[in-house]
A and B are shown apart, each in its own frame.
Chain A
Amino acid sequence: MADLTTDFLGIKSPNPFWLASAPPTDKEYNVRRAFEAGWGGVVWKTLGAEGPPVVNVNGPRYGAIWGADRRLLGLNNIELITDRPLEVNLEEMTRVKKDYPDRALIASIMVPCEEEAWKKILPRVTETNADGIELNFGCPHGMAERGMGSAVGQVPEYIQMVTEWCKQYYDRPVIVKLTPNITDIRFPARAANAGNADAVSLINTINSITSVNLDAMAPEPMIGGKGTHGGYCGPAVKPIAMNMVAEIARDPETAGLPISAIGGVTTWRDAAEFIALGAGNVQVCTAAMTYGFDVVKEMISGLSEWMDEKGYSSIGDFKGMATPNVTDWQHLDLNYITKAKISEADCIKCGRCYAACEDTSHQAIAMSDDRVFSVKDDECVACNLCVNVCPVEGCITMEEVPAGQIDQRTGEVVSDEYGSWITHPNNPMAAAK
C-alpha cells in the first residue's frame, strides 16, 4: 500500500489533499466535518485585521459555466475574506488544531500592506498553534480595490517586502499564495523566494465575468442590476494553474522552492499531475464546494491505487518527475512524426473527426459511402484534433512513424536523429550543426 503521508515544509499530513482557503474552511463546524471526511489539512479562510470584519454582498456571489449534463466546469465568486471577527476565528482554530494534531492547519492572512498590521496579527496567529501561514496576495476582487490581495501580488517588490516582515515576526513556515492575474508568474515567485518564503502556493482565482444577463444587460452574478468581475476557479482553470506551477518549478531561480498547487483539482489524477510537475501537495476548493467533503475519498483511494500500480511507495517517489520534460517549443524534436489512426472496431461513425479535419484542419480523413472513416497518411499533419473531438476515448490514436520509414505526407525518410527548430534549415538563426 502506497504511503500518502506528506511532509510539506516539515508540516505532516496524512495525505497531500488540503482544503484551500475559502468557504469550506471558514468555520470550525466545516473544518471538523472536513477532517472527519479525511482531508489532510486546511488553509483556514483568510483572516483580516482586528476590528469590524469585512462585509459581503447580500445578493448572489457565485457564477458558473457548465459542460454536458450541467457538470460544473468553472466557478466564479465575488466573496471577500472571512466576514467573521478575528477573535472568533482564532479561538476556533486553536480548538480544532488541538483536537486534530495530525492534520495540517494553516492560517491565511490578508492585512494592509503596512509593517504594523502584520506585526500585530502574527503573534495572535502563533498563539493558535497553527502549523504555518499563507499570505493571501491573490484575491482579485474587492480587497484588491483596497490595496490588498492581488494588488500586492501583482507587485513583486511588495511581495518580497511583506514576506520579509512575516519571516521576521513569525517563526513557522510562511507560504506565499500567488495571483495568476499577472503576465509572467515567475516574477512574483522569485520575489517570494527573495523574501525568504518557505513556499509558494498557486493559483488564486482568475479575473473573470462568467455570464451576461441579456435582459438586464449586466454581468452575472448581478447585484441590483450591476456586476463586477469575480475570481474564476474549478476544472476550467487547471491547465492555467499547471502551466504556472511548471514555470516556477523549472525556473532556475526558483527551482526547489516548495509549491502547494491549487486550481481545479477534482480527482486523484489532477493531484498526481500537479505533483509530477513539482508540487509538494495540492489544495482544493471548487471540487469540495461542488460535491461536498466526501470527494476527498476518491482522491485518496485513486491516488494510492495508481501509486501501487506504478510501484511508487511515497509521494516523493514521483514528485517533480515530469518537470524536466517541460521544455520550450524550440527544443521539441521535429523529427518525431506520428499519424492518426482510427480503430474501425471502436468507431461509432459520428463523423466528427471528418468534419473537424475537413473543415478546420488538413482534409486528411476519408469518409466512404457507408461511413467508414480512415486517415490519409499523405495528408495527416498529426495535429491531434480528431483525437480530441472523437467521442469514443481511445478510438483514434496517434501512431509514431518509426525512423527509416517514409512519411507519406512529405515523401521523406524519417530520421533517427533529434532535430529541433534551433538547427532547422528554415530557421534564419539556425546554428550550424
Chain B
Amino acid sequence: MAQSHQASGIQAGRLSAEDIATNFEDLHAPFDAHEAAVAADRCYFCYDAPCMQACPTSIDIPQFIREIQGGHPTAAAKTILEQNILGGMCARVCPTETLCEEVCVRETAEGKPVEIGRLQRYATDAQMAKGAQPFTRAKATGKTIAVVGAGPAGLAAAHRLAMLGHDVVLFEAKPKAGGLNEFGIAAYKSTNDFAAREVDWLLQIGGITVEYGKMLGDALSLDELAQDYDAVFLSIGLGGVNALRAAGEDMSGVSDAVDFIAELRQADDLAALPVGRNVVVIGGGMTAVDAAVQSKLLGAENVTIAYRRGRDAMGASRFEQDLAASKGVKLMFNVMPKALHGDGAVSEIELEYTSVVAGRVTGTGETLRLTADQVYKAIGQTLEGQPDALDLEGGKIKVDDAGRTSVTGVWAGGDCASGGEDLTVTAVAEGRDAAMDIHASLMG
C-alpha cells in the first residue's frame, strides 16, 4: 500500500512516482523560441547597464539579449560564457531577484524586470544542445597548475587556466565533480542531471585532468602541491556544518540539511527516498528553504522552518521565502531550538521565542513544542580541512582582491575564501579572476 502524507515516522513513497516527478520539475520552465523573443524584446539595451553592474561575473547582459533578438542564441551564449563558463547553471540557480533583475530598469519602471535568468538559460541551452563549447586553448605555456576542489570556483578557474594554455590537475575528494552544483543545489533548479552534463561539457576544453577521490589533507599536502606545480588554487568550499548545541541533537531523525539534500540529489528514485510526516528545519538561509521545500515535495505533511530572527534578517531572499510558502511550508520567525525530545528517535522539538536586542538573539523564556519526526539543521556551513599554513579571516581563508592567500603561489576562491557572498556565481567570478591573476604572475 502506498504511504500517505499522514503515515507517521520517516517513510518513503508518500506520493506517487508521477506526483513526485511533477513536483521536481523545473522551477522556471525553459523559454521556447517565442517566449524568448517576447522577453528579449523588453530589454532597453541600457547604457552602462545596471544589470551588468549587479552581475558578479559582469556578463554583458544587454549585448547577449540583443543577440537573442537578432536570432543568434549561440552568439548570446558566447557573450555569457566568456564571462561565466557556468552560465548555464547560474541561469538556473542565481537569486536574480537580488542580483541583475533587482536593478533592471524595467523593475524600476513597472515592477517587472526583463527575465534575464531565463533568457540566459535559453542562450546557454542552445549552445549546450550543439555539444561543443565556443572556446579553444591558447598555445601551451608548459605550466601546470593544481586546483583543489571541483565545485564552481575550481571548475571556473580550471577552465580559464586551460583556455590560457596551461595544464591543470583538478583534485577532487568526491568521486564526482560539480561541488554543490551536483550535491547541494535544489533538485528543481538543476533538472535532468544538468550539473554533470555541464561539467562534461566544460571539460571538453581539454588540458584538465581530474583526479577523483584525492583529498587535500589525506595523502595530499599543500607543501607537496606547491612544490610540484607552478601554482595552486584552493576551492574546497565549506565542508563542515555548525552544530545546534541543543539537548538531544544526537537522536535519530536529526540530521544535517546538506546531507539530506546531497542524498536527494544523488537518489536514482526520489519516490524511494524516506521523509518524515512532520519535518522541522532549523535555519534561515537558502539551505533551510531548499531542505524544507524538497521535504514538502516528497510528501511530508507538515514542514516548518524555524528561524531565530525576524523575516528581514533571513538569508533566503523574499522570492525564496514566498516559494517555500507557496509549497505549503510554514515559516516561523523569532524562535530557536531549546531541546529535542523523544525516545531514541526524535518526536518533538521544543522552541523558545526570541527577541533580538542590539543584534543579539536572546530567549524570552516562552517556549512551544512542535511534533517532529525529522529535524534538519541548516544553520550554516563552516570551513573544514584547510591547510594550517594559511591565514584565516572571519572563518575563511584570507585572500586579497586577486584571490591571493597569505602563502605565495597559493590562491583561493569560492565559499572557502573570504569576501563575496556564498553563491555559485560569486564562486565562478572568484575562480576566473584568480586564474587571470595566476596567469599574469606566471607569464610575467
Interface residues of chain A, those whose CB is within 8 Å of chain B, are: 68-70, 348-352, 354-355, 367, 371, 391-392
Contacts and interface: CB of A to CB of B under 8 A. Distances in A.
Contacts of A354: 47
B209 interface: no
Given A68-B41, A69-B38, A351 B108 contact: no
A388 to B, nearest CB: 14
Contact of B46 (A69, A70, A352): A352
A352 B109 contact: no
Contacts of A392: 109
A348 B49 CA distance: 12
B105 A350 contact: yes
A92 to B, nearest CB: 39
Nearest to A371: B50
A391 B109 contact: yes
Nearest to B108: A348
Interface in B29-44: 37-38, 41-42, 44
Contacts of A355: 47
B268 interface: no
| Leading 9 A-B pairs by shortest Cβ distance | A351-B47, A355-B47, A348-B109, A348-B105, A350-B46, A348-B108, A350-B105, A68-B41, A350-B44
Contact of A351 (B41, B42, B46): B46
Nearest to B109: A348
B108 A352 contact: no
B44 A391 contact: yes
A392 B46 CA distance: 13
B14 to A, nearest CB: 44
B319 interface: no
B388 interface: no
A242 to B, nearest CB: 27
B135 interface: no
A349 B38 contact: no
Contact of A70 (B37, B47, B48, B108): B37
A30 to B, nearest CB: 30
Nearest to A71: B41
B201 interface: no
Contacts of A349: 46, 50, 105, 108
A70 B37 CA distance: 9
Greatest chain B CB density within 10 A among A70, A348, A355 is at A348
A367 B108 CA distance: 18
Given A70-B38, A350-B105, A367-B48, 4 more contacts: A351-B46, A352-B44, A355-B47, A371-B48
Contact of B47 (A68, A69, A350, A391): A350
A348 B108 CA distance: 6
B48 A351 contact: yes
* Contact-size category for B: 10 to 19
A185 B44 CA distance: 38
A199 B326 CA distance: 66
Contacts of B44: 350, 352, 391
Interface in B46-70: 46-50
Greatest chain B CB density within 10 A among A350, A352, A355 is at A350
26 contacts: A68-B42, A69-B38, A69-B41, A70-B37, A70-B38, A348-B105, A348-B106, A348-B108, A348-B109, A349-B50, A349-B105, A349-B108, A350-B44, A350-B47, A350-B105, A351-B47, A351-B49, A352-B44, A352-B45, A352-B46, A354-B47, A355-B47, A367-B47, A371-B50, A391-B44, A391-B109
Contacts of A391: 44, 109
A352 B47 contact: yes
A48 B202 CA distance: 67
A40 to B, nearest CB: 35
B43 to A, nearest CB: 10
Nearest to B103: A349
B221 to A, nearest CB: 47
B231 to A, nearest CB: 36
A69 B106 CA distance: 16
A354 B49 CA distance: 12
A350 B47 CA distance: 6
A243 to B, nearest CB: 30
A347 to B, nearest CB: 9
A352 B62 CA distance: 12
Contacts of B45: 352
Contacts of A69: 38, 41
A348 B109 CA distance: 6
A142 B207 CA distance: 64
Interface string B331-365: 00000000000000000000000000000000000
A371 B48 CA distance: 9
Nearest to A355: B47
Contacts of A351: 46-49
Nearest to A70: B37
Greatest chain B CB density within 10 A among A68, A69, A367 is at A68
A69 B35 CA distance: 10
A392 B105 CA distance: 11
Contacts of A68: 41-42
Nearest to B47: A351
A351 B44 CA distance: 9
Greatest chain A CB density within 10 A among B42, B47, B48 is at B47
B243 to A, nearest CB: 44
A304 to B, nearest CB: 30
Interface string B300-335: 000000000000000000000000000000000000
A354 B50 CA distance: 14
Nearest to B34: A70
A166 B58 CA distance: 70
Greatest chain B CB density within 10 A among A349, A352, A391 is at A349
Interface string B252-294: 0000000000000000000000000000000000000000000
A68 B37 CA distance: 9
Contacts of B38: 69-70
Interface in B103-127: 105-106, 108-109
